[in-house]
Structure 1
Amino acid sequence: MTGLKQDRGDDDVREQLLASVGEQLGALLSAARALTAASAAQVHPDLQPAAFHVVRWLHAFGPAHAGAIAEGVAMDKSAVSRLIRDLKGVGLLRAAPDPEDRRATILSLTPLGEKRMKKAFEQKGQVFLQRTAHWSTEELATFAELLRRFNTPPP
């Protein structure tokens, strides 16, 4: 009988801890959205935050067709097409004919787009540095490992 009470106590503690993890993940997601909005504004103040995802994807993976970008950022093709139009309009993106299929277009960042993306990444990095400046190397290693484990689906 005592074992059952102990198990219930452990369940209560685990439930409270999971609720706390959920709260902190919610806070993290809110902070991430705010940081993405700030990064988007850094890239160009007139752009929607979603445009930052397109720019970031192109920065990471290089020139691509609009369909590949839409798939890569998990957005609807029509939404990505509007973002691409806006990015081209402010000089951050360029379109060129696909050398393998002249009917298709390859999109890439302009030098200005690369420059603005680099600056946005630097500012984002500063936020991470500020938040972890007082952490020890061991704490950073633990945090990185726990995040990796959390983000890795179970087998």
Structure 2
Amino acid sequence: MSRKECREIDREKLVASVGEQVSALVTAARALTAAASAELHPDLQPAAFHVVQWIKAFGPAHAGTIAEGLGMDKSAVSRLIGDLKRTGILRATPDPNDRRAALLSITALGEKRLKKVQEQKGQVFYKRLERWSSEELATFAELLRRFNTPPP
């Protein structure tokens, strides 16, 4: 076997190892989101947490805008919004620019629960990273940024 073939095999193994670790990261993130959603309210599906986080980040919005922002089906988001309204986490108010449409926003209860959940999620990340040096954190952040940036 040539040296080039050995390097190609080594690279394939490294790429496969990266794939395994990315899969483990996605799985852990899903589990953390499910736990966060249950903490927000035990009757909510995990995707509901994403809806609330999106509204927190971007402010009150129409259901269609939220669905588009999350890359989700509008009917699925509408069901999640219904659940979030029933649990008192979201409220709908008439859009002042179009009274037929509703703007969705987070209630005081939703804000309180979201803050608690975000603090808990933060602790999970902090625990995993607390023994890392600043240099390791900077390298990890840069490598993740590069990985998450689509090629030109």
The corresponding residue for 1:11 is 8
Q: Which amino acid aligns with 1:150?
A: F
TM-score by length of 1: 0.96
Aligned residues: 152
Which residue of 50, 53, 67 corresponds with 1:53? Answer: 50
Q: Structure 1: 5+ residue runs without aligned partners?
A: none
What is the aligned-residue identity percentage?
Answer: 70
- Between the aligned partners of 1:73 and 1:44, the Cα distance in structure 2 is 20
* Residues 117-137 of structure 1, C-alpha deviations (whole Å, 9 max, x = no match): 111111111010100111000
Match status 1:121 vs 2:112: no
- Between the aligned partners of 2:137 and 2:33, the Cα distance in structure 1 is 22
RMSD: 0.9
Which residue of 133, 136, 141 corresponds with 2:138? Answer: 141
Give the C-alpha shift of residue 74 in structure 1.
1.2
Give the C-alpha shift of residue 82 in structure 1.
0.7
Which residue of 30, 46, 57 corresponds with 1:33? Answer: 30
Q: Where in structure 1 do 4 or more consecutive aligned residues deviate above 4 Å?
A: none
The corresponding residue for 1:112 is 109
Which residue of 73, 78, 92 corresponds with 2:75? Answer: 78
Give the C-alpha shift of residue 115 in structure 1.
1.1
RCO greater where, 1 or 2, for CA within 8 Å and sep 6 or more? 1
